[in-house]
Amino acid sequence: MAKMNLLQAINSALDVAMAKNDKVSVFGEDVGHFGGVFRATSGLQEKYGRARCFNTPLVEQGIIGFANGLAAQGSLPVAEIQFGDYIFPAFDQIVNETAKFRYRSGNEFNVGGLTIRTPYGGGIHGGHYHSQSPEAYFAHTPGLKIVMPRNPYQAKGLLLSAIFDPNPVIFMEPKRLYRAAVGEVPEEEYTLPLGKAEVVQEGSDVTVIGWGAQVEVIERAAELAKKDGVSVEIIDLRSILPWDVDTVAKSVMKTGRAVVSQEAPHTMAFGSEVAATIQERCFLYLESPVMRASGLDTPYPLAHEKEYFSDHLKTYEAIKRSLNY
């Protein structure tokens, strides 16, 4: 075991994958000698050469188009989109090509070896174009998997699973935690299951569901609730496509209350899907409506980030609304 921050865990996962299989390559904007804007790929070009870790032009649709072609030939490309906010020029390639390659051919060919890494989320004073949480756009697309880790240990194990999973995966990394989240991480290879949630903390009064960086926010809210005598069960979805309905439903049927906490804007965010599914599966067990804590329905503001941000106080208030209904 070694102490790593989330960036170092990502780098370690890429290093392990590239050492394990020569078909793994890493590319994107500035990922080569420079190591990427966050240095997630530091040292990989020096270790594995310019043919397996290299820079691309600043053209996101080209990065993913190239990655689709490479994956279609049996390679295992790991394409980096520098910020989640920049992924939209590649939207057509991802939702109309990456997600549908296998289906359009009756599984004669596919791009299942493709992994797309991108940092998401706010809390870094990044303003409109460096703070968004765009996971819901892609969660509406059959044929993709979407993974969002909460800490270094989860990040390495889930990324290794994503790289070698036989389906295309969008791996969304919480940039706010890149250097803030530190933990013990095995230096060797290990994997964690995709599509399987984890009960981070057991409780009896209310279930709070989140993913990615929001899990740390939920843990802080649960501490406040604990002072009020409220026992909070915390679930980290880890994957939002597919997501683990059974684990969530089992928990909500036990506690009778549910809160979904997310960083994205409120309307039509992935939390809405979670809330709708809970009421379908757990309606007769619910003691109150499913509550949501979210960002605001505005573009991500620079000057008012603190007011916009879906922090622990918003989640704590949602817990109280659920309990006091």
Residue-wise pLDDT tens for the chain (325 aa)? 999 999 999 999 999 999 999 999 999 999 999 999 999 999 999 999 999 999 999 999 999 999 999 999 999 999 999 999 999 999 999 999 999 999 999 999 999 999 999 999 999 999 999 999 999 999 999 999 999 999 999 999 999 999 999 999 999 999 999 999 999 999 999 999 999 999 999 999 999 999 999 999 999 999 999 999 999 999 999 999 999 999 999 999 999 999 999 999 999 999 999 999 999 999 999 999 999 999 999 999 999 999 999 999 999 999 999 999 9
- The residue type of 58 is L
Alpha helices in 165-227 (DSSP H): 214-227
Q: How many helices (H) and strands (E) does the chain have?
A: 12, 14
- Is the same domain home to 139 and 211? no
- Whether residues 277 and 165 fall in one domain: no
Please enumerate in sequence order all residues whose Cβ is within 8 A of that of 189, keeping only pairs 6 or more positions apart, or say none: 16, 20, 160
| AA letter at 65 | G
> Are both 114 and 151 inside the same structural domain?
yes
CA distance 158 to 142: 20
Specify whether 138 is located in the same domain as 202.
Answer: no
State the SS3 of 275-300.
HHHHHHHHHHHCCCCCEEEEECCCCC
Do 180 and 213 belong to one domain?
no
Do 120 and 166 reside in the same domain of the chain? Answer: yes
Instruction: Looking at the structure, tell me whether residues 158 and 98 fall in a common domain.
Output: yes
The answer to the question of residue 69 being in a domain is: yes
**Amino acid making up residue 174:** P
Domain extent, residue 212, equals 198-323
Burial of 122: CB neighbours in 10 Å, binned 0-12, 13-18, 19+: buried
Q: What is the pTM of this model?
A: 0.97
Structurally, the chain folds into a number of domains equal to 2
Residues 250 and 222 in one domain: yes
CA 61 distance to own-chain centroid: 21
Catalytic residues: 60, 130
Query: Cis omega before residue 149 (within 30°)?
Result: no
